[in-house]
Amino acid sequence: MDALEQLRLERELKGLAKPSNEYPWTQTELNEVWRKITAPTLGLMQGLANLPDSLEVVSAFQKILPPESGEFVRMAPKQLQEFCRELRAVWNALEKLASENKKLVRGEAQSILHAWWRKYPLDPDGPHWNVYFETGTFFPARMNWRALIARVYFDNRDKLGICKNCKKYFIKRRIDSSICLEKGCRLYDNHQRQEKHQAKKSPARKGRRSA
């Protein structure tokens, strides 16, 4: 018996069955929801990952977060600072795996992702999960950003980049991107391309002269 079925039976025994008019989300529909929330979730992840490891900065950032940021608005600044450290640790690990064309997540990154997903029990009466017994599906609620980020992280691990110029964390537009979209970094990238192009042309010029 899986966890969802067990919860359903427990609720029925307690007389807490969900209303029959509740919309029974299917997994296909929830996958579409995941697709729609991916971009804003990646944006939040990037912002948190690039915060300096300073309690003062983290606290100031927390104050400008919108209410829909859920638990990140309500947690203590020290907790958010620790979460940002975990976020960077996972990002570093997944970016390295992608650069080595590896898919299997192990070690510290696996432990952190697992802890995020299992942070709150699958309680249909709590604020952290939406549970749909009719279709056997569940989805993290707004107060469970850890689980949301864990899933988005895993599904988009090939898009996690670390800019080779400014060293900031960024979301890749292409799998082989190594430079973020900051103006200075794009100028750096163009300069590097020009130098490589000139280096390729130089041997050809020397060959023509010697002939």
Do residue 200 and residue 128 come from a single domain? Answer: no
Structural tokens at position 71: 């638990």
Give the domain range for residue 128: 3-175
CATH number reported for the structural domain that contains residue 134 in this entry:
1.10.3300
Cα 52 to chain centroid distance, Å, stands at 18
Query: pLDDT tens-digit profile of 37-67?
Result: 899 999 999 999 999 999 999 999 999 988 8
Do residue 132 and residue 196 come from a single domain? Answer: no
Do residue 102 and residue 189 come from a single domain? Answer: no
pTM given for the model: 0.79
Do residue 164 and residue 198 come from a single domain? Answer: no
Do residue 100 and residue 196 come from a single domain? Answer: no
Per-residue model confidence (pLDDT) at position 18: 55
Is residue 124 helix, strand or coil? coil
- Tell me the Cα Rg of the chain: 23
Q: How many domains does the chain have?
A: 2
Residue 46 to residue 107: CA distance in whole angstroms: 22
pLDDT band for 1, please (50, 70, 90 cuts): very low
Greatest mean pLDDT among 3-7, 65-69, 206-210 lies in 65-69
Do residue 93 and residue 113 come from a single domain? Answer: yes
pLDDT band for 168, please (50, 70, 90 cuts): very high
